[in-house]
Amino acid sequence: MKYIDEFRDGAVARELSRAICREAGAERHYQFMEFCGGHTHAISRHGVTDLLPRNVRMVHGPGCPVCVLPIGRVDIAIQLALKEHVVLCTYGDVLRVPASGNLSLLKAKALGADIRMIYSAADALTLARENPDRQVVFFAIGFETTTPPTAVVLREARDLGVGNFSVLCNHVLTPAAIVNILESPEVRELGTVPLDGFVGPAHVSSIIGTEPYEFFASEYRKPVVIAGFEPLDVLQAILMLIRQVNDGRAEVENQFTRVVTREGNVAAQTLVSEVFELRRSFEWRGLGVVPYSALRIRDTFAAYDAERRWPLAYQQVRDNKACDCGAILRGLKHPTDCKLFGTVCTPETPMGSCMVSSEGACAAHYSYGRFRDSRELAS
Q: Which chain residues interact with ligand SF4 by CB under 6 A?
A: 323-325, 328, 335, 338, 340-341, 345, 350-352, 354-355, 362
Minimum distance between the CB of residue 149 and ligand SF4, rounded to whole angstroms?
Answer: 28
- In the bound state with ligand SF4, the residue whose beta carbon lies nearer, of 306 and 323, is 323
Q: How near is the Cβ of 211 to ligand SF4 at its closest, in Å?
A: 34
Our CB check for ligand SF4 shows the closer of 192 and 281 to be 192
Shortest distance in whole angstroms from residue 181 CB to ligand SF4:
18
Cα separation, 94 vs 250, in Å, equals 36
Nearer to ligand SF4, 207 or 287 (CB): 287
Smallest gap from Cβ 328 to ligand SF4, in A, equals 6
- Helix, coil or strand: residue 31: strand
We find the least distance from the C-beta atom of residue 288 to ligand SF4, in angstroms, to be: 17
Inter-CA distances, 60 with 36, 136, 282, 291, Å = 8, 35, 21, 22
Which residue of the chain is nearest ligand SF4 when measured via CB? 352
- Which SS3 state, helix, strand or coil, does residue 305 take? strand
The dihedral built from the CA positions of residue 76, 80, 360 and 213, taken in this order, carries a sign that is negative
Other beta carbons less than 10 A from residue 258's beta carbon:
11
Using the minimum distance from each CB to ligand SF4, give the nearer residue, 61 or 350. 350
Closer of 199 and 323 to ligand SF4 (Cβ): 323
**Rounded to the nearest 5°, which phi and psi values hold at 185?**
-60, -35
- 200 phi/psi in degrees, rounded to 5: -80, 155
Of 282 and 341, which has the nearer Cβ to ligand SF4?
Answer: 341
CB 368, min distance to ligand SF4, A? 15
CA distance 94 to 360: 12
- Minimum CB distance to ligand SF4, residue 336 (Å): 9
d(CA 221, CA 243) in angstroms, rounded, equals: 14
Residue whose CB is less far from ligand SF4, 231 or 286: 286
Nearer to ligand SF4, 212 or 360 (CB): 360
Nearest to 68 by CA among 303, 328, 271: 328
Rounded to the nearest whole angstrom, what is the least distance from the CB of residue 37 to ligand SF4 in the complex? 13
DSSP helix/strand/coil, 97: coil
Residue 61 CB partners (closer than 8 Å, separation 6+): 33, 34, 35, 36, 40, 177, 181, 198, 329, 331
Could you give the residue ranges of the DSSP H alpha helices within the chain?
10-23, 37-45, 71-83, 105-110, 121-130, 147-160, 174-183, 185-188, 203-208, 214-220, 231-247, 266-275, 306-309, 325-329, 361-368, 370-378
